[in-house]
Chain A
Amino acid sequence: MPSPEATIDSVEIDRIISSHIDLEGPLLPILHALQDAFGFLPSQAHAPIAEALNISRAELHGVISFYHDFHNAPKGRHVLKICRAEACQSVGGTALAENTLAKLGLDWHGTTADGAVTVEPVYCLGLCACAPAVMIGDKVIGRVDATRMDTIISEASA
Chain B
Amino acid sequence: MKITVPMDSAAKAVGADEVVQALLAAAKDKGIEVEITRTGTRGMIWLEPLVEVEIDGLRHGFGPATPEDAAAILDGNSDKALGPVEALDWMKRQTRLTFARVGVIDPLSLDDYKAHGGLAGLKRAVSMTGQEITDEVKASGLRGRGGAGFPTGIKWQTVHDAEEPQKYIVCNADEGDSGTFADRMIMEGDPFTLIEGMTIAGLGVGATKGYVYLRSEYPDAINVMRKAVDIAHKAGVLGADVLGSGRAFDMEIRMGAGAYVCGEETSLLNSLEGKRGVVRAKPPLPALEGFLGRPTVVNNVISLATVPVIFEKGAQYYADFGLGRSRGTVTLQIAGNVARGGLFETAFGIGLDEVVNDLGGGTLSGRPVKAVQIGGPLGSYLPVSKFDAKLGYEELDSQGGLLGHAGMVVFDDTANMLGMARFAMEFCAVESCGKCTPCRIGAVRGVETIDRIAQGDMDALPLLADLCETMKDGSLCALGGFTPLPVMSAVTHFPDEFSNAKEAAE
A156 at interface by CB-CB < 8 Å: no
Residue of A89, A135, A141 touching B217 (CB-CB under 8 A): A135
B258 at interface by CB-CB < 8 Å: yes
B180 at interface by CB-CB < 8 Å: yes
Which of chain B's residues has its CB closest to A133's CB? Answer: B13
Q: What 1/0 mask marks residues of chain A from 57 to 77 whose CB sits below 8 Å from any chain B CB?
A: 000001100111110000000
Task: Kindly list chain B residues whose C-beta atoms are within 8 Å of the C-beta of A69.
Answer: 216, 256-258
A128 at interface by CB-CB < 8 Å: yes
B178 near A87 with CB under 8 A, answer yes
A138 near B409 with CB under 8 A, answer no
Residue among B46, B276, B410 with max Cβ neighbours from chain A (10 Å): B276
A128 near B274 with CB under 8 A, answer no
B9 near A140 with CB under 8 A, answer yes
Q: What 1/0 mask marks residues of chain B from 165 to 181 whose CB sits below 8 Å from any chain A CB?
A: 00000000001111111
Known: A86-B423, A140-B220. A25 touches B10 (CB 8 A): no
- Complex CA gap A124/B48 in Å reads 19
- Complex CA gap A131/B373 in Å reads 15
Task: Kindly list chain A residues whose C-beta atoms are within 8 Å of the C-beta of B220.
Answer: 138, 140
B427 near A123 with CB under 8 A, answer yes
Interface contact tally, CB-CB below 8 A: 157
A90 near B176 with CB under 8 A, answer no
B178 near A63 with CB under 8 A, answer no
Task: Tell me how far the C-beta of A71 lies from the nearest C-beta in chain B, rounded to whole angstroms.
Answer: 10
Query: A residues 96-142 with Cβ under 8 Å of B?
Result: 122-131, 133, 135, 138-142
- Complex CA gap A127/B111 in Å reads 29
Task: Kindly list chain B residues whose C-beta atoms are within 8 Å of the C-beta of A29.
Answer: 254-255
B181 near A123 with CB under 8 A, answer no
- Complex CA gap A146/B301 in Å reads 35
- Complex CA gap A129/B48 in Å reads 10
A130 near B45 with CB under 8 A, answer yes
B412 at interface by CB-CB < 8 Å: yes
- Complex CA gap A139/B180 in Å reads 19
Q: What 1/0 mask marks residues of chain B from 239 to 273 whose CB sits below 8 Å from any chain A CB?
A: 00000000000001011111110000000000111
B494 at interface by CB-CB < 8 Å: no
Task: Kindly list chain B residues whose C-beta atoms are within 8 Å of the C-beta of A23.
Answer: 252
Known: A28-B271, A66-B277, A128-B178. A90 touches B412 (CB 8 A): yes
A86 near B179 with CB under 8 A, answer yes
A27 at interface by CB-CB < 8 Å: yes
B178 near A127 with CB under 8 A, answer no
B9 near A127 with CB under 8 A, answer yes
Which of chain B's residues has its CB closest to A123's CB? Answer: B260
Which of chain B's residues has its CB closest to A23's CB? Answer: B252
Interface of B (DSSP majority class): mixed
B254 near A90 with CB under 8 A, answer no
A46 at interface by CB-CB < 8 Å: no
Known: A67-B258, A86-B423. A123 touches B176 (CB 8 A): yes
Task: Kindly list chain B residues whose C-beta atoms are within 8 Å of the C-beta of A127.
Answer: 9-10, 13, 181
Task: Kindly list chain B residues whose C-beta atoms are within 8 Å of the C-beta of A126.
Answer: 9-10, 175, 180-181, 183-184, 217-218
Query: B residues 389-444 with Cβ under 8 Å of A?
Result: 407, 409-412, 415, 419-420, 423, 427, 430-431
Sorted nearest first, the 6 A-B pairs with minimum C-beta distance are A27-B274, A129-B341, A142-B13, A128-B335, A85-B178, A67-B257
16 A-B pairs besides A126-B180, A129-B342 with CB distance below 8 A are: A25-B274, A28-B274, A69-B257, A85-B377, A86-B179, A86-B373, A87-B336, A91-B336, A91-B364, A125-B9, A125-B218, A126-B217, A127-B13, A128-B333, A130-B13, A131-B335
A-B contact pairs, 16 of them (CB 8 A): A28-B254, A28-B255, A63-B274, A67-B277, A86-B373, A90-B410, A91-B365, A123-B260, A123-B431, A126-B181, A126-B217, A128-B180, A128-B407, A129-B181, A130-B341, A140-B13
